[in-house]
Structures are given as structure tokens and as C-alpha cells.
Chains A and B, each alone.
Chain A
């Protein structure tokens, strides 16, 4: 849905949004906005409705109640999870980029201008020289960056990422985080979902904690607190502080396996 009357700096808006699959309500009465220049993470446990909320914002899921949409003229750049496509598919990195552009001529050749702008974008994301590689030949981090490059190829106002660090190793997670921070610095707004509290969420300026409904909305310092986390995950959790940042101990109290100590004979 396109919102017409909206303030200049508003990009995405959810207003009392509810989504359901049949009888099963997955997102209930969610209200939040994303403004230009923001970097927002939607956090919550598995099955909390993060992906559904994202899909509703992208227009792929119809709400059963309330409103969701982007402001008129706002371009979204969607970055799905890396596992969402078959990386054996017979295309090169350049083709992945260019297939998103409308075909203006009868014959589908890649034009010189398209090739140049795609290569510039790849260069910007540290993928220079990989344009003619088959997509299978890339590392996990490079595949993620190809998806980001593809989304940026359309000059979006906001990047929307679904679990950008799911299933990646620590190094790739750092790469992704730094890349997004750099893009944000360049003026691109970012909205992402994640269940990775310490690796990703704690580094973001604003978090929306979701468990079917919005539990809390604020900076990591404000929302990554035992009270909110208990409501979010349904179990008491501890929070420490390290280097000025909250660190969530991601095991519920009482569920810790005690180290084995042999009895003294």
C-alpha cells in the first residue's frame, strides 16, 4: 500500500497492523514508523512474526487489520536471506545485477551503460572483478554482498534485509555489519530483522522488539534489559555490560548445564 499524506521524512509506516495465516494471528496491533536516515532492527525469537512483518511491509502479505505501507515514491531495496535462492543457477554476478533492470530493447543484451553501472556498484561493495564469475564460486559473505549490491542497484531510499546474518560465520557477520554501517553512513536507511542479539542487534541504534506485538521500541541500552527480554522470550535472561554495550546471556536461567565435576574419592 502506498501512503499519500505523510511527513517528508517518513519512509515506512505500520499502523495497528495485524497479519494472520488463517486463524493463526502472527502479527497483532503493531504500530511503528521508520524515518529517513534511521537504522532499525526488528528482533524477536523464532516464530515471533518478524518475517511476516517484513513481508507485509514489502506488500507480499496482506494485513487482516490496520495499515502498512511505504510513502509514495519511496523505493525499497529488498535483500532476502542468502539461502532463498539456488546458487547453482546458471548465471553470473553481473547477470544477477542486470536482470533486475527493465529490458528496454527487443534483444536482451547487457548494454555498455548497464555493465558500467553494475561494475561500479560491485566495486563499491568490494566485489570488483567478480562480475563474470558464476555465483556458485562466491563465498557466503560475497553472496550476501551481491544481494545487497543488487538491491542498491536501483538507488533505494531504504534497504530491507531479512536475517542478514543467519547461517553465516563470525567473519561474514562482521563484514555484513560493517557494510551496513558504511551504507548507513552514506545516507541509506536500513530496516532489518534478526534474532542475533549480541552479534548484530546490540550494535544497531534502534531496536523494535517483536513477539507478535511490539514489546519495546528504543535503543539497545533501553530495550536489551532483563524485564523486556523476559517478556520477549518468555524466560528470565541476564544482561551484562561489556565495552559500554549490553551483552545478553542467551540461555534461560535454570537451563544451564552444570559442568561435570568428578567426585573426590
Chain B
């Protein structure tokens, strides 16, 4: 075989395995989905909420594993309740909202950890939830990610102006008849569902990175909200694809490699973009 044929065979080698094909499909869909919702996370200055929420969902996942409860129902309910709660805390600007979120979500994380230690097959489950695993991806996971992805896309397209208005100027939006708290709750539910269906692949520790990095990179590349909504998922999906392949060939964690690829893309854009691009990310708030 010639050298290029060998290289080609090597590049396509992982696709001979079903687990890799399934894993790549889920990772790309997850990357795109996190990229899409990440636009709202980043522009609303909620980067910390994405981080906290993924930790909170871990508690729900652990509790449902220990109680032999369906994972999606248990962790999903837990995630949605904490998401809506966090949204309310953030919106009402209760004193020290970030501290309150920190307490709620880390406590949830700690409860999950303790439950798994005490009752579960601790080590394996914890690692799987924290760092995710492409090996265990089943058809159900693919369906779940794709369904949540299409749902999120549909909701955002149909409610585009209301989401935009309540993100840009919630006060005037509410006076103009937009139900800002409903939009916020919808966003939090979508965020919780996204974390829920992607955590098996990427793991809770790294989900927040995928919610922030593609959107922040997209923000440097454009000054238009509508363009961010397709650039960010593109970066997330492409980062996931490249990361999966690199992970196979370097024998490293897929989640870690996906984030490293996205972070590298961010750094390249950051250094390549002028003062204006840097100012755009500098202006992104945080909570």
C-alpha cells in the first residue's frame, strides 16, 4: 500500500468501530446543541450558571442511579427544577446570587458524590458521569441528543424575537408584553435537557466549557446575534468532530480533547482578531 493510502486507512480506521461512529454522531450533535444554547448563556452573562447546572444534574443522576430510578426522568426532573430555581435567583438579583447558585449546585454535586460512594458502584459511575464516555453510547443516547437538539432549534427559531428581546432588554420586553420569566424558564429547561442528554458523552465537568467556548469564539467573529446562532453551533460541532478523531489517535479522553480543540480555536481567533474582537469578549458579563 502506498503511503497516502496508509494514512487514509489510518484516518478512517476508527470508523470501522460502531462505538466510534455512534460516539462521533452524539458528540457532534452535542457540540452543536451546546454551541446554540451557549449563545444565550454567554450573552446573558450566565457562564457560571451553565457550570453550576451541570454539577446540579450530577446530583440527580447519582440519586436516580442509587434509587434504581430511570436516569433520564430522575436527572431530568432534578436538572429542570434546579435550572428554573437558578434562573429565578439570578433574575431577582437576590443578594449574592452567584454565592447562592454556588451553594445550591455544589451541595447537589456533593449529595450525588456521597450517594454514589455509599450505595453505588462508586468509582466507575463517578468517572463516567464526571468525564463522560463515548464507549457506552447507545442508540437511545443518539435519539435523545438529536430530539433535544431539534426541539431547541425549533423553539429558538419560532421564539427568536422574544428570546432576543428578553435577552437584550428584559425590562422593556416585559412592559411590551413579552413573558420574560417564561422565556427564561424555557431557556433553563432547554439547558437542563441539553446537559442531561450530553453528560454521558462529555461528562458534567466539561459541559460548561462547551457551553461557553464556541459562543465566546463566535462573539469575536461577528457583531450580529443571528450569525452567532449558526457560527457557534458550527464551532461546537466541528470541535467535537476533530476532538473525537484526535482522541482516538492519541488515546486520550474524548471530552478533554473536544474542549482542547475548542479552546485552541478560541485562542487562535483571539490572537488573530484585532482590538475590536477582544473588546467584544471582554464585554461579556459573568454571573
Contact = CB atoms under 8 A, between A and B. Distances in A.
Interface of B: 43, 157-162, 164-165, 167-169, 171-172, 174-176, 219, 222-226, 228, 279-280, 283-285
Contact of A91 (B157, B172, B219, B224): B224
A107 B157 contact: yes
A90 interface: yes
B175 A99 contact: no
15 contacts: A84-B171, A86-B283, A88-B284, A90-B43, A90-B219, A90-B224, A91-B224, A95-B225, A99-B165, A100-B172, A103-B159, A103-B160, A108-B161, A108-B226, A136-B223
B224 A99 contact: no
Which applies to chain A's interface (DSSP): helix, strand, loop or mixed? loop
A199 interface: no
Contacts of A78: 172, 175-176
Closest 5 CB pairs of A and B: A108-B160, A88-B283, A103-B161, A99-B165, A78-B175
Contacts of B171: 60, 80, 84
Interface in A55-99: 58-60, 76, 78, 80, 84-86, 88-92, 95-96, 98-99
A99 B176 CA distance: 11
Give chain B's interface secondary structure class.
Answer: helix
A101 interface: yes
Given A88-B279, A89-B43, A89-B167, 16 more contacts: A60-B171, A80-B169, A80-B172, A84-B171, A88-B283, A90-B223, A90-B224, A90-B225, A91-B224, A92-B224, A95-B226, A96-B168, A99-B165, A100-B176, A102-B161, A108-B226
A16 interface: no
Contacts, number: 71
A100 B165 contact: yes
B172 to A, nearest CB: 6
A85 B43 CA distance: 12
A201 B223 CA distance: 38
A170 to B, nearest CB: 27
B45 to A, nearest CB: 8
A84 B169 CA distance: 8
A91 B168 CA distance: 9
Contact of B168 (A59, A89, A106, A136): A89
Nearest to A78: B175
A74 B284 CA distance: 37
Contacts of B284: 88
Contact of A99 (B168, B222, B283): B168
